[in-house]
Structure 1
Amino acid sequence: MGLPWNFAPLHGDRVHLDLPRPDDLDALFAIQSDPEVCRYLLYEPRSREKVQEVLARDSAGTRLAEAGDFVQPAIRDAEGRLIGTIYFKITSTEDATAEIGWLLAPSAQGHGYAREAAALMLDLAFGELGLHRVYAELDPRNAASVALCLRLGMRHEAHFREHMWFKGAWADTGIYAVLASEWRG
């Protein structure tokens, strides 16, 4: 396995991933304070102060070495504007497994940016990092994220009914995953 790994920017045809910067605050706040964006996330719309804390935390996450380590790079468009973030966390070194997630500005949704960003991370995961399995854990009502998982070649592995107390009600959890052999195939 290729751990430890120190963050290096990743470049695609239309997006690139790099560490969040202090000047991303306005764009990130616009995304993370939007009630519709936060609808299926584990948190409610965030205050500017909370987003500033998250930005500082995420910009410091630069190394993947052991279970629990994560990076959350900025997804930038061709002009370098922050249009979202992508979450990538090592969940087990013994099992060579990681979790992936994404967050995109409403104006950037539906244009393939999240797919390209996730594919960059999956290429890294199954290439340089040598991982075996990457999964996404999401609210199955989030049709856009479910569709993205399927476009990435992830399979639906599990559906946990009323799995967590979520924003005042019981909510289901869906698990989608892809193996290294499937990604390469």
Structure 2
Amino acid sequence: MGIERITPPVPLRTERLVLRPVVPDDTTAIGAYCADPEVTRYLPFPALDADGLAKRMERLVAATAPVEVGDFLGLAVEHEGVLVGDLMLRFSAAHDEDQPPSIAELGWVFAPEYGGRGFATEAAGALVDLAFTTYPLHRLMAQLDPRNTASARLCERIGMTQEGHTREDYPDRDGGWSDTAVFGLLRREWEGRR
């Protein structure tokens, strides 16, 4: 007997956005911003070349119904029919191996030309709600390079609290080490804000 696979209720519409599964036709749009070294500067992957983009797209397109630790949900974010970014919800831990995952990690990347309009906040907030209403999660978290102040502010806007800062725990692309800031949101905190 395995863990039940739950298909999330997408597409999901917010006031200005549509969150939907990533499809192969999104390759050009995702490739445009993921090839930009400024966009990927604080991400766990470098600016993508054609091979890197093909691998990322394969993973994103397949990420539709996570069920166990390591699985993730990938969502494209559209505004007025234009893809402006993508989101990720990755199951990162389970309280018991026979139970569904209880902790998940959020991630996001957006095209810079759509920055400053609140799209990332609106989309990430919708993903938080989707995560807690769809899955039996206890906690959501985000891990980011502390120099990524825009993502740190986004975490705070969606109700997350900075819980830690670990020093030089992640290899950077220059052969050195980067720090990690950890943000978290517990189910009871999310419920209290609703």
Whether 1:86 and 2:87 are equivalent positions in the alignment is yes
Q: Could you list the runs of 4 or more consecutive aligned residues of structure 1 that deviate by over 6 angstroms after TM superposition?
A: none
Instruction: Specify which of 33, 39, 43 is matched with residue 31 of structure 1.
Output: 33
Which residue number in structure 1 is paired with residue 51 of structure 2? Answer: 49
Q: Secondary structure at the match of 2:134?
A: coil
Q: What is the match of residue 118 of structure 1? A: 124
Aligned partner of 1:98 in structure 2 is 104
Q: Comparing 141-150 with 16-25, which one deviates more in the overlay?
A: 16-25
Q: Show the counterpart of 2:150.
A: 144
> RMSD of the TM alignment (CA)?
1.5
1:170 aligns with 2:187: no
2:70 counterpart residue number:
68
Distance 2:126 2:5 in 1: 18
How far residue 3 of structure 1 moved from its aligned partner, in angstroms, is: 5.3
Q: Partner letter of residue 170 of structure 2?
A: M
Distance 2:4 2:187 in 1: 16
Of 14, 22, 27, which aligns to 1:12?
Answer: 14
2:16 and 2:54 map into 1 onto residues whose CA distance is 27
TM-score (norm 1): 0.93
Instruction: Structure 1: give runs of 5+ residues left out of the alignment.
Output: none
- Partner deviation per Cα, 1:70-128 (whole Å, 9 max, x = no partner): 01111111x22111110101112326110001000001111111111111111112222
**1:76 aligned partner, one-letter code:** E
Task: Please tell me the residue identity of whatever aligns with 1:150.
Answer: E
Which residue identity does 2:187 align to in structure 1?
A
Structure 2 counterpart SS, 1:54: helix
Amino acid at match of 1:51: L
Partner of 1:108: 114
Q: Supply the distance in 2 between the matched residues of 1:43 and 1:112 (Cα, whole angstroms).
A: 24
Deviation of 1:24 after TM superposition, in Å, equals 1.2
The number of equivalent residue pairs is 183
Residue in 1 that maps onto 2:133: 127
Residue segments in structure 2 that go unaligned for 5+ positions in a row: 96-100
